[in-house]
Amino acid sequence: MAAVTGRRAIGTREPRREDRRLLTGRGRFVGDIRLPGMLEAVFVRSSLAHARIASIEYDFALGIDGVETVLVAEDLGELSLFSQRHPNLLLTPQHPLAQEKVRFVGEAVAMVVAANRYVAEDALEQISVEYDELPAIGPETEPEGEDQVPVFDSIPDNVVFRDAETYGDPDHAFARAAHVVTHRLDFARQVACPMEPRGCVADFDPATQHLTVYASTQAPHRLRSDLATTLALSEAQINVVMVDIGGAFGQKIPTHLEDVAVAKAAMLLGRPVRWIEDRQENLTAAPHSRGQSLDLELALDEDHRFIGLRAAIRGDSGAYSFNSASCLTEAYRAARALPGLYDISDFAYDVEISLTNRSPMAPYRGVGFVAAQVARELLIDRAAEQAGVDRFELRRFNMVPSSKLPYRSCTGWQYNEGTFTEAFESSLQALAAGADDGPAPGFRRGVGISPFVEPSAAGNEGGLQVHGFVSPSHDSARVALNPSGKASVTFGTPSVGQGLETSMAQVAADALGLPIGDVSVSWGDTTTAPMSLTGTRASRSATITGGAVWRAGVQVRQQVIEVAANLLEADPADIVIDAGNVAIAGEAQPRMTVAELVRAGFFDDRLRQPGQERTFEATRLYDPPAAYSNACVVAVVDVEEATGAVIVRRIIGAEDCGTMINPMIVDGQFIGGAAQGIGGALFERVHYAPHTEQPATATLMDYLVPTATDMVRVELHHLQSVVEHTEQGIKGMGESGAIGTAAAVACAVADALGAPASKGVDQVPLLPHVVWGLLHESTDEARDEAT
């Protein structure tokens, strides 16, 4: 194969080609889809957290002009979605519309399908659901309490998942420890809160028995498979069309029960049906995330080396384990992520995930890793304080050194390369280089640091390492040259706003030797796009889709070279394709353009050699080995003593994701993640009222997401390891900012509070009243001690 010439597109700050349409209102989102005869669906949702359904009266709603039907569970039949991803996970079947019982506020009970949204919403008012209320179960509810009725009768103690693992001999490590440090962290429930809530349009053609679904989904092929399974159709009868997506952040990975209900309604009615979630539904009925408590114990020897770690993690599953077993994604992933980039060989965890009468869980950017990172870094700060050593030095001392790479963590994560120490030092140098004007009067300043690794090539091997069980995950891409010499690239991983359209064009351009302007990119639909097994998630698209695009592009380039060799009567090894031109090595001028050559290849049969199949097209699959990016985030915050408000002053990031396809997109990913990290650490909390489990954060007035005024300019520094084992050395980093920033901010707040108040930093988010309480509690304690 001819050598690929130097990179021209990869590594450049190519402007995002999707921005023109997205920023000028020309994006085509699922809410923009209009089909002839389309109906609108809205859901009647449970107003109680836990109740048996006594009756549903909907007949008056049918009398409203424009209402087509009202569907209840029995109309849809058995459409349960559940996949058994781990043998310890117990079954919690969930139906698109609740059968017999509701298990969280917001659970869909009935669906109105009407001519338009206005009529449908009016019809909701005419539907009456009678419930026999049951005591609601929250994370703090005693499972054996009197009058308690379990969320599922088949799971009397509500514990839906248990797992305990021991690596090495942590008991021995703790027995010989010079210091043992403990810390507990309660990480609140949060919600991904994408700008565009969930939604879909389903269109069933009774004549052809074909279902077309326009969906705001991160995993179109998976949605297609789930719909085929639940609706008793073949995948060939279903086409999931990918449209622009206004943010997803993990919430749109699973197949939502509403999608199934809408598709079924379209089949029953023989007309297109659209459902667009509103914000209140998204905050209360869409899956949440985080929501766990972590009790950690760290053993240090006399030299302050980490010799043992124990963790007890209690997760809140919500009312169902959900169809992707997504209750595992938080607490279980957190457990396996805890050692991180520290050299710890003796580790034990036990995880228990319980059902509650709250919305189920789904992934959210940095799922599992964010909570683990915050808990571990706060623990290390406490260890430094308890052992009387510098907290930066303690981290530096215990980090996996470059000299130990490749390194396999005790939980099986394989770090082949990385710049753990370099990123750490780089961020500290940036901190020192910045002007330190000190806090204003009445404020306390704090600095927090958070070094970490991020699984970033969630293929089969990566999934196995992260989850501990087989999690198949690969992508395919198709690259085709048209007779005009332009390239079309198609893959099944949707662009959710992260610039995939641009970065994949860059990869394809270099693989083909074309100018980037000659490459068009489409993530198409499931009929035309090659299979993406699990879609856009887990920082995987750049690595896995990028690898598939690269391989397909190189294969097509090879076809071009073979035709060029025939035409130019040259050795294929001497053919050079670069910037859309075909040249022979050593010659000053190119012989022809790729467009001329491809045209000749398509239309001149004399150029075809026996056995050559000149399609100028290739589809390739990529399933990379596991890969881990690394980064370090430093946060500087000021805490206002009078109010407990936290103001973020600086966020410094030093990250290494190997080859950066587009540094501008890497910057954007990190900055966006940092915003979510700040929100997670300081503002965002899904609150449920005690005992009733009624959601109290049902609007964006109550659920606080960070705004522009809460952000600072993120100071970002890039390191680039040479990565041998992924295609083009690419590693993902889409979750990096979120994983590192929340921990850095939490540690900075603890630092600002100082001892003994810092010990009280045991919950996230650190809302002003929490910080104020810690400040004044410590002041009172100090006063008591003085007197």
Partner 1 sequence: MAPTVAFHFERDVAASASDVAACLLDPTLLARCVPGASLTAADGNSVTGRIRIKQAAVPSVYRVQAELDRAEDSPGDQLEETVIAAGGVAEEQRTGRSFEFRIRVGLTPTGPGRSRFRIIAELPAGDDTQALLDRLSPQFIRRLEDVALERPEFVAAEGRLAAAQEPAQSAPETPARERWVKAGVAGAVSGVTAAAVLLAWSALRRWRSRAFPS
* DSSP structure class, residue 402: G
Least separation, in Å, of the C-beta of 258 and partner 1?
17
Nearer to partner 1, 75 or 352 (CB): 75
End-to-end CA separation in angstroms for the chain: 82
Nearer to partner 1, 76 or 767 (CB): 76
Tokens of 651: 């966020």
**3-class SS at 549?**
helix
> Which residues, 6+ apart, have CB-to-CB distance to 432 below 8 Å?
none
Nearer to partner 1, 54 or 689 (CB): 54
Least separation, in Å, of the C-beta of 57 and partner 1?
5
Nearer to partner 1, 57 or 724 (CB): 57
Nearer to partner 1, 185 or 261 (CB): 261
Residue whose entry in the numeric block shows the structure tokens 């449920």: 688
Nearer to partner 1, 77 or 442 (CB): 77
Nearer to partner 1, 126 or 402 (CB): 126
> Which residues, 6+ apart, have CB-to-CB distance to 450 below 8 Å?
373, 377, 632, 633, 634, 635, 740, 741, 743, 744, 747
Nearer to partner 1, 40 or 377 (CB): 40
> Which residues, 6+ apart, have CB-to-CB distance to 273 below 8 Å?
38, 39, 40, 41, 113, 201, 202, 203, 262, 265, 266
Tokens of 517: 């302007």
Least separation, in Å, of the C-beta of 76 and partner 1?
8
Nearer to partner 1, 89 or 269 (CB): 269
Task: Return the sign of the alpha-carbon dihedral for residues 393, 397, 399, 405.
Answer: positive
Least separation, in Å, of the C-beta of 110 and partner 1?
11
Q: What stretches of 404-551 adopt beta strand conformation (E)?
A: 407-408, 414-415, 443-455, 475-481, 487-491, 519-522
Least separation, in Å, of the C-beta of 271 and partner 1?
10
Least separation, in Å, of the C-beta of 70 and partner 1?
7
3-state SS, one letter per residue, for 569-607: CCCHHHEEEECCEEEECCCCCCCEEHHHHHHHHHHCHHH
What is d(CA 214, CA 202) in angstroms, rounded to the nearest whole number? 6
Least separation, in Å, of the C-beta of 54 and partner 1?
12
Least separation, in Å, of the C-beta of 626 and partner 1?
47
| Contact present, 226 and 324 (Cβ < 8 Å) | no
Nearer to partner 1, 110 or 533 (CB): 110
CA angle 288, 292, 297 (to 5 degrees): 155
Least separation, in Å, of the C-beta of 131 and partner 1?
17
What is d(CA 347, CA 376) in angstroms, rounded to the nearest whole number? 13
| Contact present, 515 and 595 (Cβ < 8 Å) | no
Least separation, in Å, of the C-beta of 269 and partner 1?
6
Contact positions vs partner 1 (CB under 8 A): 57-60, 62-65, 67-71, 75-76, 268-269
User: What's the one-letter identity of residue 284?
Assistant: T
| Contact present, 714 and 671 (Cβ < 8 Å) | yes
Task: Return the sign of the alpha-carbon dihedral for residues 11, 17, 18, 20.
Answer: positive
What is d(CA 594, CA 596) in angstroms, rounded to the nearest whole number? 5
DSSP character string of 363-392: --SSTTHHHHHHHHHHHHHHHHHHHTS-HH
Least separation, in Å, of the C-beta of 371 and partner 1?
43
Nearer to partner 1, 77 or 517 (CB): 77
Tokens of 119: 């009529």
785: number of Cβ within 10 Å: 8
Residue whose entry in the numeric block shows the structure tokens 């204003």: 440
Least separation, in Å, of the C-beta of 228 and partner 1?
20
Nearer to partner 1, 39 or 477 (CB): 39
DSSP character string of 110-122: EEEEESSHHHHHH
